[in-house]
Structure 1
Amino acid sequence: MEPNMFANLPLTALRAFESAARQRSFKAAAEELVVTPTAVSHQIRSLEGWLGVPLFERLPRQVRLTDAGERLFRSLHGALLEIAQSVDTLRPQRSGTSLTISTTPAFA
């Protein structure tokens, strides 16, 4: 493996692809990622160009994964889950409780 093998990975496009593939919708992926559906579409087209294979069949009002898209989704989804779990183990755990502080108007 080359030392900078991650430098050229299109991580934003991979994240857009994973979301669209999981939800089977560019619109739902856009809502999840807080971007426009057009931005998701552009990211996926860019990824398809980078890979040299189509990942989705674009049908009227829906998208369907190609065989290549299915293969990429299976490996990518698992990898992203592992990353999320690894990161979660390092982050401080929140207790889920809240603290409310009140005062009199004269003090404020």
Structure 2
Amino acid sequence: MAFEKEIKLTDCRYSYAISPNVKKYTLRDNTFVQTRIGNYELTRLLETIPNSNDGFPLKITINKDLNGFKLMITDKSGLRSVNIFKSADHKILQDKFYFLMDSLVERGIFTKKEI
């Protein structure tokens, strides 16, 4: 998967784009970790029950030039994408995803657009 300027996850109500005003220190302040090759990565586990370690990993990677990103929700192995928006059974996971992404929008890392 290549770095993109805007991403819309399947069945998600919003599309997210990297903010043109994002700064490296803002990423570090928001617990993004710099990788060996210079990209910034944030991994969170979307869980129905907190601290159960039973959920789907959300992984956000922003390239070192701060002009593209990857956003994916996968199964525990990290190999297959998971669509948490398809079923109402995942309402709690959807709410947690939107909460996390809204906090990153408020901090100027992403912009969002309703679809």
TM interval, short-chain normalised: under 0.3
More helix by share: 1
**TM-score of the pair, normalised by structure 1:** 0.28
Highest Rg: 1 or 2? 1
Q: Which has the higher contact order (CA 8 A, sep 6+)?
A: 2
TM-score between both structures, scaled by the size of structure 2: 0.27
